[in-house]
Amino acid sequence: EQQILEFKDSIQQQELDFVRILTSIYNSLYPELDKNTIFDITPNLKSDAKIQFTILPNNEMLSKGRNQGRTLIYDLSVLFHTIEKNIKAPRFLIHDGIFFFFFKTNFIELVKFLEDKKLSGYEFQYFITLNEEGTLSDKFADADKVNPDNIENEAVLVLSSNSKLFNQDF
């Protein structure tokens, strides 16, 4: 038990650094939500796990779209934490299907946040899939950053019923 408590004390600064990054991403994507406990590492000596991790426990994060947002925020936090601390790890992140049920306004805020990071000198790649029925028009509001034409122009690959991956039906 003493070793667990000492470990918790020894990582306090790392935890604070990570919380700062996670909070900045959370605040950028979900400015409308209350800021309760965002991230916490707590010794729980009465359980088998002994250490409990809590990530965005806010009840408002439990809807399907916001729960996926919680995953997005955590993944981005790990990416930017490794960049800021110069930890040897990949400088890219891949998300497939994470934006199902994601609010358009939160997607717009994500694009703005990532562009701000890029303009601040962060070097990273972020790969996503945007699976939409029909066309992209009017799917992401009228913001310049997520204008459907811009998304299509910046996309590495756009697939449709006429343009299939490897020209194959799967």
Alpha-carbon distance values, 137 to 52, 133, 148 (Å): 44, 11, 6
pLDDT in tens, 87-106: 999 999 998 888 777 777 78
Please give the pLDDT value at position 80: 97
Q: Is the pLDDT of residue 71 over 80?
A: yes
Task: Note the pLDDT of residue 37.
Answer: 62
Give me the pLDDT at residue 78, please: 95
Could you tell me what percentage of the chain is helix, strand and coil, using 3-state DSSP and rounding each to the nearest 5?
A: 50, 10, 40
CA distance 46 to 118: 44
Helix then strand count (H, E) for the chain reads 5, 4
Secondary structure of residue 124 in the 3-state scheme: coil
First and final C-alpha spacing in the chain: 53
* Spatial distance between the Cα atoms of 75 and 134, rounded to a whole number of angstroms: 29
Beta-strand pair 39-44/50-55:
antiparallel
Residues 25 and 82: their CA atoms lie apart, in Å, by: 15
Amino acid identity for residue 169 in this structure: D
pTM assigned to the model: 0.75
Q: What is the pLDDT of residues 100-158, one digit of tens each?
A: 777 777 888 888 899 899 999 999 999 887 765 544 455 555 456 666 677 777 777 77
DSSP 55: E
Q: What is the pLDDT of residue 162?
A: 81
Of the ranges 33-37, 66-70, 83-87, 108-112, which is most confident? 83-87
CB atoms within 10 A of CB 152: 13
Most confident segment among 8-12, 47-51, 128-132:
8-12
The crossing angle, in degrees rounded to 10, of helices 12-29 and 64-84 is 130
